[in-house]
Structure 1
Amino acid sequence: MTYVSAQPMATESWDDICYPVEPVWLSELLPDYDIMATDRQQLIVGQMPGGRKTLFGIQSAEYTIIPNEAIRQVIDELIPEYRMLAKYTTTGEFSISIVLPATLSVGQERLERSLILTNSYNGRTPFSIQGQTLTSLLSTTAAPGSSFFRPLCQNGLLGWADSFSDSRAYRNWLADWSKGKEKIPGTKGAPTGKAAVRSSTEIRKIHHRALTIERFQEHLRTLLLEHLSAPPTLTASVYSHFQETPLPVAREGVLQKLPIPVQLAKQAMERMRLEERMLNSSGSYWLLYNAVNYALFSARSSLTLNDRYRLDERVFHQLAADTYA
């Protein structure tokens, strides 16, 4: 199926993403018809501020939609001081960054600790916390990874190296992964740097069957409380390593090897040149990674938010493999 091209929009207001959304039964819309297709009975309908009612997707009768308002209620309950910044599309996908007061220094920049939650009304980007679905988090003992917010470009950065216990384990895995001997963490055959490694690449679909909003909120409270008390993670040290590693003279060659579309690569190069001037700094792997992240989450594309996160993780690991080689 061809996916509608969309450009993520940014907002700092919950009201822009907490608009009414509800299931509508197909039989209610077509009362005079006998419907034989029983696998898809539920239409997910929402109405964005100032817009018409939009049909985001068609789901099974057992599917439970998670309204963004349900997420907002838990965040307001648990976190007394935060800023909300979200990227969202008209096709019903959401990446919600909850920016916290704690900070981290990377070179001359200060990153802000954050929570990144994804959600969708079209079923293409499942609900996740720090890149991991609710079902994967509840089935293991490890806590959600980290994420940071970068004020310079409004990037939300996920902790793609957090499933490893230390730098040595991560570097050993990178050496094999770059040769095609290992898969992304969380897939079959991946390493077990921690007691339990959860999926972080494919932000897999949450099982919405028999899930009530009250039960969802209960699980969300538990998981967020665990994350808020977690110590700094391995990804933070990888960021510092990126910042300390200059790009080679032939920087275009590094960018061309990354697994992203050509047009996004061009936009990333333009963004990196802009940030070099803004920071009065020479090119580094840190600036390159952020430029790619910026392009991925700001450009118009048929890529879903789920696709963009998967590419972001692959880019992170490839750059790490290059710098640690």
Structure 2
Amino acid sequence: MTYISAQPELSTTWDDICFPVEPLLLSDLLPDYDIIATDRQKLIVGQLPGGRKTLFGIQSADYTIIPNRAIQEVVDELIPDYQLLIKHTNTGEFSISIILPTSVSVGNEQLQRSLTITNSYNGKTPFGIQGQSLTALLDPLTHLGSSVYRNVCQNGLLGWADSFTDLPAYQTWLGQWAKGPQKTPATRTPSAPTRPQRSTADIRKLHQSAITIPRFQQQLHTLLLEHLTTGSTLTATVYDHFQQTNMAGTHENVLRHLPLPVQLIKQARERLRLEERLLNSTPSCWLLYNAVNYALFTARSSLTLNDRYRLDERVFHHLAAQAYA
């Protein structure tokens, strides 16, 4: 299905994304027809505030919608003190940042720890926490990720290096990645807390195509608790190195070779210049990465939110490979 271009909108209230949404079976709407396309039998329809009913997507008959309200209920029960920043599109995709009171230092900046939850009603951006899918998170060998919130540009930054055991392991992987994209490992680091064991059957039952909302909320509660207990991360170490990597005189060449569409590179360049003035700073790898992240999640594009996160991850590793070269 081809999607119209969309520009992520900002919101600070759950009500903007917790509108009614329901599945409608094609067989109920078209009782006189035989539905041959068995993989497309359920319409996902939402009623946006003040708008018409919107058809977000067509899914298989056993596909389960995860309502944003179900996510809110678990977050509110578990985290009494948080700020909310949501990036959402009119195509039914959501990136929900739960900004926590605790902070982490990156150079001279104070960033706030956060939980980044993704969800969608069009099926294009799967449910995930800190950039990891539900199925991956339920595997006890998966190392939990992290995210931080940077207020100066309202960026939510995911911990793309967190799955590595240590910095030397990440640098070794970067050497291979520079020769061609490599899959990031999902192994737990030695210092990571032991996660609860789940059977293969449990993981299979909790796949989004076969899940009940009460069971989803139960597991979401457990997963969020695990994420709230994570300590220092490898990605924060990489951020420190980014900030120490001066790119004056080289940033234009680096920008031109990033794995991004030309228009996004142009917008990242404009954002970089603005932050240089705002912070009275010379270009650094840190400012460049944040400029790209800002462009990715504010630009009008046909890219889904999931596409934008995948590009953000590629840019992070691309810059890390150069910073540690």
Q: TM-score, normalised by structure 1?
A: 0.92
Match of 1:261 in 2: 261
Match of 1:40 in 2: 40
Write the distance in 2 (CA, Å) between the matches of 1:268 and 1:213: 39
Q: CA RMSD in A?
A: 1.6
Structure 1 residue 33: deviation in Å? 2.7
Identity of aligned residues (%): 68
162-171 vs 288-297, greater mean Cα deviation: 162-171
Change (3 A) 1:226 1:274: same
Q: Which amino acid in 2 is paired with 1:301?
A: S
Q: Secondary structure at the match of 2:232?
A: coil
Write the distance in 1 (CA, Å) between the matches of 2:264 and 2:42: 36
Write the distance in 2 (CA, Å) between the matches of 1:15 and 1:193: 36
Write the distance in 1 (CA, Å) between the matches of 2:187 and 2:67: 34
Structure 1: tracts of 5 or more residues without a match: 197-205
Q: May I ask how many residue pairs the two structures share in their alignment? A: 311
Change (3 A) 1:223 1:192: closer
Q: Is contact 1:166-1:193 (8 Å) kept? A: no
Write the distance in 2 (CA, Å) between the matches of 1:35 and 1:308: 34
Write the distance in 1 (CA, Å) between the matches of 2:284 and 2:218: 42
The residue correspondences of 1:1-325 to structure 2 (distance < 5 A) are 1-180=1-180, 183-186=182-185, 194=189, 207-325=207-325
Match of 1:200 in 2: none
Write the distance in 2 (CA, Å) between the matches of 1:79 and 1:9: 24
170-179 vs 57-66, greater mean Cα deviation: 170-179
Write the distance in 1 (CA, Å) between the matches of 2:251 and 2:230: 36
Structure 1 residue 3: deviation in Å? 2.0
CA deviations 1:74-107 (Å, max 9, x no partner) are 0001001001100000000000000000011222
Q: Which amino acid in 1 is paired with 2:90?
A: T
Q: Is contact 2:136-2:142 (8 Å) kept? A: no
CA deviations 1:265-294 (Å, max 9, x no partner) are 000000010001000111100000000000
Q: Secondary structure at the match of 2:290?
A: helix
Q: Is contact 2:242-2:284 (8 Å) kept? A: yes
Q: Is contact 1:163-1:193 (8 Å) kept? A: yes
Q: Which amino acid in 1 is paired with 2:36?
A: M
Write the distance in 2 (CA, Å) between the matches of 1:5 and 1:308: 13
Q: Which amino acid in 1 is paired with 2:175?
A: A
